Amino acid sequence: MTYRPENPLVVQSDRTILLEVNHPRFAELRDRLSAFAELVKSPESVHVYRITPLSLWNAASGGVQASEILELLHRYGKFPLPPAVEREIADTVSRYGRVRLENRQGNLVLAFKDAEVKNEVLNASTLRFLRDDSEGQRVRVPPERRGWVKRELLRLGYPVEDVAGYSEGELLPIRLRSVCRSGRPFRLRDYQRRAVEAFHREGAASGGSGVFVLPCGAGKTVVGLAAMERVGQATLILTTNTTSVQQWIREILDKTDLPAEWVGEYTGDRKDVRPVTVATYQILTHRSGSDGSFAHMQLFQRRNWGLIIYDEVHLLPAPIFRATADLQAKRRLGLTATLIREDGREEDVFSLIGPKRYEVPWRELEEQGWIAEARCIEVRVPMSAELRRRYLQAAKRQKYRIVAENPEKFSVLEAILKRHREDRVLIIGQYLSQLQQIADRLSAPLITGRMKQAGRNLLFDRFRKGKVPVLVVSKVANFAVDLPDANVAIQVSGTFGSRQEEAQRLGRILRPKSGANRAYFYNLVTRDSLDQEYALHRQRFLVEQGYHYEVKEMGEWEGKHVSTAD
C-alpha cells in the first residue's frame, strides 16, 4: 500500500471522503469535490463528504466523466482508492444515459443501450404497463406517463436522459431591455448568460429542463427573464409568496419590453391569467378541506404554456410535484440557492424538473463583487441556572424552544446593534413571542405572517429608504424579499437544523453594497444545548459554500475591544 502523507484526501470504503482543511489546495479541492459529492460534516480540521448516486448523476448530467472523478481521487488521496468504491463510481456514472426518452416519428419511446437493462425495467412491478411491442431496444411510453416513468426509473437506479423534446406553447414576443424602465443600464452578467445557454442548449432536445443553483442576490430572477426571452413562449412562474409574486412582476416590467396588461398575478387577492402569469405555491395547493380538490391546479391548463419556472424549487410542495409529473412536455426551469430539501425529495426535483444544469459557488461571485463579502459569526450565550433546570426537565420537543428563547440573548443582541448602529439590520427568528419581546424592547417594527401584505410592503419600503434602520422579521422574510441595503442579519432562533433556511437567511444580506461591499451574519446560540447542536448542522451549509465561520463566546461581545473590523 502506497501512503502519501502530503496529500489531503482520504477516500473510505463507505464512500465518504475526508478533506484536510489546512492543506494548501483545500479551496480548489473543496470546489471540485462539491461537483460530485455532498458535504456531511465540517469540523475545523477535516471536512467530510459523501458520494451518493444522485450527486454522481447530477455531475454526469453536466458532462462530468467518471474518469475525471477517479483521476482526482487517485491524484490527491493519501491511500489507494478502495477498489469497490472505484467500481461503484464508474458503474453509477455509467447508469446516466443508459436509458433515454426519445421522440420517434411522433411516438414517445424508451431507448435502452443494452438488453439487460431493458429486461430489468420491463420486469419492474411499477412499470408493468410498458409493453415490449417495438423492435430492438425501444419500448413505447404513453405520453401521460412520461413523468411517472422517469421517477420510477430513477428509483430503479437508471436516471433517464430525456431528449424527447417539448410541445410548443403560445408565442411570446419578449425582449430584455438595454436600459430598464427605471432608467438604469441593464445587461446580463457572464455567469447569467452561461446559465441560460446551459438550460436552452440552442433549442436541442436535451435542453429545456433543469435547475440553476445560484446564490441569493446573484440575480436568479434575471436569469429566469433571460430564459423567457430565449424560449419566447407563454410562461407560468410559480413562487413562494405574494411578496415574491410582486417582485417578479416589477422585474418583468422593469427589464423587459412586455406591456403591463400581458403580465398577470394569480394569488389569493387576484386571479389574472395572462401570457405571463405569476402565482404562489400556496394558491395552487389551496383546498377547502383535507379531502377537497385543488381547485386552482387548473391554472396549468388555462393557457398553452411553453415554459414553467419554479422559483425556490427546493420548497416545491408535494401536490406541485404530482402536477409536474403530468407536465413533462412543457419546458421547466427550477431556480434555487440550494438543492437541499429537508424532506429528502431531491430525487423528485431531478426526475420531474430536471438535473442541475448550472451552479456558481457563492465565494466565486463574492470574489468578483457580484454579491457582498459575508462574515459569519456564531455567538454562544450561557444559560442561567433556572433556564438549565427547565431545559433538563423538559420533554425533548420542548427543549429547543426553551434554549432558542434564552433571555440572555437580549444583551448580546443589543451589543451587536450598538456596533452596527449605522447599518441596516434584520433580526430574524422562529418564535413570535420572542420576536415580539425583541420588537418591544427595541421599539422596532415587527413583520410576521399575520401582517397583511400592504403593511409588509410599507415597512419593507421604509427600510429600503433608510427610514427604519432595524426590522424584526419572522420566517416570512426567509424568501424573496428584496432588501438590497440590508447588510446585517442577526438570527436569534431557527427551524431546528435547517440548512436551506440558513441559505435563505444569509441571502437576505448578500446583494452587492456600495462602498465596502461587506455583510455580517450573526447566529445567537445557547451553548451546550440543542441550540448549539442544531447550529452546527446549519453551519454545514455556510462551510459548504466556502465561508469562514467564527465562533465567539458571549463575553467577547461585552467589551469595547471588539469591533466590526476585527
How confident is the model over 418-444, as pLDDT tens digits? 999 989 899 999 899 999 999 999 999
**Do 232 and 244 meet the contact criterion of CB atoms below 8 Å apart?**
no
- For the entire predicted model, the pTM comes to 0.80
Backbone angles phi, psi at 513, to 5 degrees: -110, 155
Residue 548, pLDDT above cutoff 80: no
Residue 264, pLDDT above cutoff 80: yes
Comparing CA positions, the residue from 168, 169, 170, 188 lying closest to residue 178 is 188
CB atoms < 10 A from the CB of 303, how many?
A: 18
At 36-79, the pLDDT tens digits run: 998 777 666 888 899 999 999 999 998 899 999 999 999 999 99
Overall average pLDDT of the 250-263 stretch: 97
Domains 190-360 and 366-557 equal at CATH topology level: yes
Residue 521, pLDDT above cutoff 80: yes
Per-chain mean pLDDT for the chain: 88
pLDDT computed for residue 239 by the predictor: 94
Give 3-state DSSP helix, strand, coil % of the chain, rounded to 5: 40, 20, 40
Which segments within 337-448 are labelled E, that is strand? 356-359, 373-381, 425-428, 446-447
Report the C-alpha gap between 50 and 71 in whole angstroms: 17
Report which residue type is found at 64: V
pLDDT computed for residue 500 by the predictor: 65
At 132-152, the pLDDT tens digits run: 755 667 889 999 999 999 999
Domain ranges in the chain? 9-95, 99-162, 190-360, 366-557
Q: Cell 427589464 belongs to which residue?
A: 255
**Do 273 and 307 meet the contact criterion of CB atoms below 8 Å apart?**
no
pLDDT computed for residue 252 by the predictor: 97
- Spell out the CATH class of 190-360: alpha beta
Report the C-alpha gap between 296 and 287 in whole angstroms: 8
Comparing CA positions, the residue from 145, 196, 202 lying closest to residue 351 is 145
Burial class (CB in 10 A: 0-12, 13-18, 19+), 290: exposed
Comparing CA positions, the residue from 324, 310, 314, 250 lying closest to residue 280 is 310
Spatial neighbors of 385 by CB under 8 A, at least 6 apart, are: none
At 92-111, the pLDDT tens digits run: 999 998 999 999 888 899 99
Instruction: Look at residue 14 and give its three-state secondary structure.
Output: coil
* DSSP 8-state symbol, 479: S
Q: What is the CATH number of domain 366-557?
A: 3.40.50.300
- Cell numbers of 210, please? 433543469
Report the C-alpha gap between 562 and 566 in whole angstroms: 7
Report the C-alpha gap between 67 and 394 in whole angstroms: 53
Instruction: Look at residue 277 and give its three-state secondary structure.
Output: strand
At 105-132, the pLDDT tens digits run: 888 999 998 888 998 998 898 888 887 7
pLDDT computed for residue 129 by the predictor: 86
